[in-house]
Amino acid sequence: MVDCHAHNVAHMQKDEQQHTQGNIPSPFTAEDRFKRASGQTKQNPSFHGLPIERLRRRKQLVQNGVTWRMSIDQIKRYCSIMGEKLANRTVYDYVNRTKQPKRYDKTGRDQTHHDYMTFECFLKICDGFKKLGAEPAAIRFNQSPGEKAGFRFDFKFRIGKYLFYGEVQLSDLAGTNWRRKHKGYVRWYERNTFPFRVLMVIDQKRDMSTVRAHAREVLQDHPNLNLYLYTTLNDLQASDNPVLEPIWRDAKGIKTALASS
């Protein structure tokens, strides 16, 4: 009976000799190569055949999406915006290897309607920036912009030096609530004086001119401050690129595109 181990090592020694005679340095001895081929040595850590640095980036992106309670589909789109195109099955693999919050549902059934639309608006807008070669950073959801700000934004992201806050309003608000919402951002600007824009996506039957009137009222002390941009949910969803297309209006009602505002 042939000793398979001795047989394989003998062939590898012959290959190594030929490899060396060809003036190409051999990275492993025949014994090393046999051990690697037979699984007796540990390989470098990888998943889906990726370098460890790329793996860590993908894992972090997926972990972000899970922490925010995005669905599998939303995580996939978020990763694509961040430069990592993943198949649904791959996203599932990564999600199953991440720390998940309690009662997290991969399908997104644990999201409220407002949370779902907030993610959808954020992804739609950021995908428009991605098509222009810009990647969002400093992404946050449902947080206060800072200590004693007095309000919470729905989403926030930065494109280069430009900071955007997002508000998704799915139901009618009384006039006093609209003024309070607008005043919160004006006071935040007065405290910090760094430039930012507030993107307001509104799904309602109320005349948008009424909403913009509240903005003009709270901006009386800052007549040159173009702080708010408005669009309807229908216009945002129907847009091919909400960054390039003039689907937004400022407080004065002038149409503009995010890329040129």
Please tell me the least confidently modeled range out of 4-13, 69-78, 155-164, 172-181.
4-13
Percent of the chain with pLDDT over 90: 62
Selected residue with higher pLDDT from 116 and 207: 116
Q: Is the pLDDT of residue 80 over 50?
A: yes
Do the beta carbons of residue 82 and residue 135 sit within 8 Å?
yes
Distance CA 185, CA 139 (A): 18
**Residues 119 and 191 both lie in one domain:** yes
The answer on pLDDT for 191 being more than 50 is yes
For the chain, what is the HEC assignment? CCCHHHHHHHHHHHHHHHHHHCCCCCCCCHHHHHHHHCCCCCCCCCCCCCCHHHHHHHHHHHHHHHHHCCCHHHHHHHHHHCCCCCCHHHHHHHHCCCCCCCCCCCCCCCCCHHHHHHHHHHHHHHHHHHHCCCCCEEEEEEECCCCCCCCCEEEEEEECCEEEEEEEECCCCCHHHHHHHHHHHHHHHHHHCCCCEEEEEECCCCCHHHHHHHHHHHCCCCCCCCCEEEEEHHHHHHCCCCCCCCCEECCCCCEECHHHC
Residue whose tokens read 């947080």? 143
Q: Which two tokens stand for residue 47?
A: 């998943």
List, for residues 14-48, the tens digit of each pLDDT value. Answer: 444 444 333 434 444 555 444 555 555 444 444 55
Of 91, 111, 131, the residue at which a domain comes to its end is 111
Q: Which domain holds residue 156?
A: 113-260
Q: In this structure, are 11 and 100 located in the same domain?
A: no
Task: Say if residue 213's pLDDT is above 80.
Answer: yes
| Beta partners for residue 166, in sequence order | 155, 199
For the CA atoms of 27, 29, 34, 35, the dihedral, rounded to the nearest 10 degrees, stands at: -80
In a domain, 44, yes or no: no
CA 173 to chain centre: 29
pLDDT on residue 40 = 53
Query: In the beta sheet, which residues pair with residue 164?
Result: 157, 197
Same domain, 149 and 201: yes
Mean pLDDT across 44-70: 85
Residues 231 and 169 in one domain: yes
Asked whether residue 126 is domain-assigned, the answer is yes
pLDDT in tens, 239-252: 999 999 999 999 99
pLDDT value of residue 249: 95
Q: Strand pairing of 162-169 and 255-256?
A: unpaired
- From 111, 140, 157, the end of a domain falls on 111
Q: Are residues 106 and 117 in the same domain?
A: no
For 104-132, write each residue's pLDDT tens digit: 999 999 999 999 999 999 999 999 999 99
Q: What is the mean pLDDT of the chain?
A: 84
pTM of the model: 0.79
Query: For residue 46, what are its two tokens?
Result: 């990888």
Same domain, 31 and 152: no
Tell me, what's the pLDDT at 251? 93
Domains contained in the chain, number? 3
Torsion, Cα 53 58 61 63, to 10 degrees, reads -100
Q: Is residue 45 part of a domain?
A: no
Pairing of β 162-169 and β 137-143: unpaired
Which pLDDT does position 208 carry in this prediction? Answer: 82
In a domain? residue 151: yes
pLDDT of residue 56: 92
pLDDT of residue 41: 44
Is the same domain home to 237 and 120? yes
Q: Please state the rounded mean pLDDT for residues 128-141.
A: 97
